[in-house]
């Protein structure tokens, strides 16, 4: 539980920075048009702003997840139970002072790649579509 609080504190500034930049780039005319049409403040948020921040929410989720997935130091310092280690710390356990368990380390590396590959295969069309949209100038 303590690791979650630390990650929230560490990633909060980056997340707020990304959301602030994205929301400031949104057009104020959308909000003004909704007010003219009689939409409440909560209605503006849920019907207009919230759907528009979906791309930045996905970006923040991916970047923060990768940061947590690959982090070594925080779990090393805060997690004492070997069964609750993350992947980099579990891989570090295969390295010893006098011997290395290369077969176990490479097997663990292959297992650690599987969730990322599954995630990419499931979202491949959206990832490629986002890359293609980002390359179009207009």
SS3 readout for the chain: CHHHHHHHHHHHHHHHHHHHHHHHCCCHHHHHHHHHCCCCHHHHHHHHHHHHCHHHHHHHHHHHHHHHHHCCHHHHHHCCCHHHCCHHHHHHCCECCCCECHHHHHHHHHHHHHHHHHHHHHCHHHHHHHHHHHHCCC
Nearest Cα to Cα of residue 62 among 1, 116, 16: 116
* Per-residue pLDDT reduced to its tens digit, 47-56: 988 888 888 8
Res. 66: pLDDT tops 80: yes
Instruction: Give the chain's mean pLDDT.
Output: 84
Q: Which residues of 72-104 are buried (b: 16+ CB within 10 A; e: fewer)?
A: eebbeeeeeeeeebbbebbbeebeeeeeeeeee
Encoded tokens for 132:
């293609």
Report whether pLDDT(70) > 90.
no
Q: What is the pLDDT of residues 89-105, one digit of tens each?
A: 888 887 777 778 888 88
Q: 0.75 cut: is pTM over it?
A: no
Q: How confident is residue 4, by pLDDT bands cut at 50, 70 and 90?
A: confident
CA 130 to chain CA centroid, Å, is: 16
Whole-Å CA distances, 75 to 7, 72, 104:
10, 6, 21
């Amino acid at each position: 539980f303590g690791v979650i609080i630390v990650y929230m504190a560490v990633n909060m500034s980056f997340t707020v920075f990304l959301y602030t930049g994205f929301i400031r780039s949104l057009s104020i005319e959308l909000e003004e048009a909704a007010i003219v049409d009689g939409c409440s403040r909560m209605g503006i948020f849920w019907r207009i702003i919230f759907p528009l921040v979906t791309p930045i929410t996905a970006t923040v989720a991916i970047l923060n997840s990768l940061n947590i997935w690959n982090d070594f130091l925080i779990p090393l310092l805060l997690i004492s139970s070997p069964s609750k280690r993350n992947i980099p710390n579990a891989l570090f356990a295969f390295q010893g002072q006098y011997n290395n368990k290369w077969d176990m380390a490479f097997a663990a590396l292959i297992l650690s790649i599987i969730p990322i590959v599954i995630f990419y295969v499931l979202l491949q069309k959206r990832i490629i579509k986002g890359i293609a949209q980002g390359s179009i100038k207009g």
